[in-house]
Amino acid sequence: MESFDYDLQSVQEARNLARKAKLAQAELAKFNCEQIDKIIRNMVKAAEENAVSLAQMAVEETGFGKVEDKTFKNRFASTELYEFIKPMKTIGVIKEDKANKVMEIAEPVGLLMGIVPSTNPTSTAIYNCIIAIKSRNGIVISPHPSAAKCTLRATQLMNDAAVEAGAPANIIGCISKTSMNATNELMKCDEVSMIIATGGSAMVKAAYSAGKPALGVGPGNVPAYIERTANITKAVKNIIKSQTFDNGTICASEQSVIVEDCNRDQVMEEFRRQGGYFMTPSETEKVAKNLFVRGHAMSAKMVGRSAEVIANAAGISIPPGTKVLLGEQQGVGEGYPLSYEKLTTVLAFYSVKDWHEACDLCIKLLNNGGVGHSVSIHTEDSDMVMRFAEKPVFRILVNTPSSLGGVGASTGLSPAFTLGCGTWGGSATSDNVTPMHLINIKRVAYGIKDFTENVNPVYSACKAQLGNSGSVSEEQIQTLVNEVLTLLKKRGDN
């Protein structure tokens, strides 16, 4: 039997998965609400039962994050997500406007492609699969090569649970022979109707260039401003909790801390008390060199690592129990490496004179690779919140850990692991993506206005002026209309 090269095998696998899932989706599109809910409940059950083992697989395979936090994310992407989407209407008539006689009917998009990152390889896969099935779509997952095993396992569990509960076979698929060629094949194949891209900027841009609808996310680079009225103890606690949650692998996690001169010393002391270590300029330089490769791309060896691991790699000594490393920066962009996104336990630290300077700095940081995503503010001043609501982002997270707030765990936002950045961040949506983004809506509209007669407003006015008696002919009315229109044109009116 002829042997084929790996890349050819991977491309053929992608094609086979897409073809099978497309056929399965055509069957799933006929399912009713009760059938879909039964399938999702079984998927949630499987995710719950395997939350810990999947988290362990993810940490062992990638080296990123913590088992306990990835376990939480797996449960959040299933159980918490289900409670939120359960009441959503995604089948049949989903809205009826009786006054205007319009009905909205949901239809599935078709076959989805999900691009899953290595930072959240199992939780994002679970989340993608559940929102796909809720909206009666099939899905094929393209995992990150460095997390292929755990993502494949999560996807297989979701497919097996779905099929066990009555879904068509092969409704959920996952590439096992990962390659860029296979990913490109899926993105461009005719069977795929929409792409959900969660990952690096290059991958998201490729998804938007595939010639079909896509929902992609951009980088976060979230600034966190501790305003002068903030509860400093609570603010620092939230930031440390956020940055150490799965060791900073959520794109909504804080990347920079901004304080005012008037509370600088108090904030620094509180960080030290709660496990923050302020690096010297030379230590900051050593850490920064290890964090990035090829300019400002994060080194995979440093993503999602503890402060201790990062410090040891840089050859610096830190106190036992240190949770986050902070390095003071005097600017943004080239020459200030910590001003870029760092998906790990390292924060840039800035001091400003007042909130005006804080605003300017936040915008600079966001434009340095985070525009459209999120900003975090800690304050007791509601007017200040509204000033920050003017920033070029779509999530203004107040007095909460931004990583948990952005995904909807500690806030009322939609539970999601795909966080749109809107047009400002090059995304098709500014929302946390839900099943409602994965449906087409058709509309049934009854006539409510009679357009069978001439409804030109000038005509109607002229007819009223001449009277509606049978003694006035249509020709007379039209002559008057033409005279009125001529006068209006001379006046410059439309």
Q: Give the residue among 426, 220, 233 at the shortest CA–CA distance from 342.
A: 220
- For residue 226, which phi and psi values (nearest 5 degrees)? -100, 95
Q: Give the residue among 368, 306, 363, 308 at the shortest CA–CA distance from 336.
A: 368
Query: HSE on the CB side for 13, CA within 13 Å?
Result: 21
CB burial string 426-451: b at 16+ within 10 A, e below: bbbbbbbbbbbbbbeeeeeeeeeeee
CA distances to 49, 66, 80, 121, 484 from 409, in Å: 20, 17, 9, 18, 64
CB burial string 284-295: b at 16+ within 10 A, e below: bebbbebbbeee
Chain centroid to CA 140: 18
DSSP state of 338: G
DSSP state letters, 37-90: HHHHHHHHHHHHHTHHHHHHHHHHHH--S-HHHHHHHHHIIIIIHHHHHTT---
CA–CA gap between residue 293 and residue 288 (Å, rounded) = 10
DSSP state of 301: T
> Three-state SS across 9-31?
HHHHHHHHHHHHHHHHHHHHCCC
CA–CA gap between residue 304 and residue 244 (Å, rounded) = 9
Select which of 251, 359, 362, 421 is catalytic: 251
CA–CA gap between residue 9 and residue 5 (Å, rounded) = 6
189 counts as catalytic = no
The β-bridge partners of 106 are 92, 441
Query: How do 214-216 and 192-197 pair as beta strands?
Result: parallel
Q: Are 227 and 441 in contact (CB under 8 A)?
A: no
Query: Which residues have a catalytic role annotated?
Result: 251
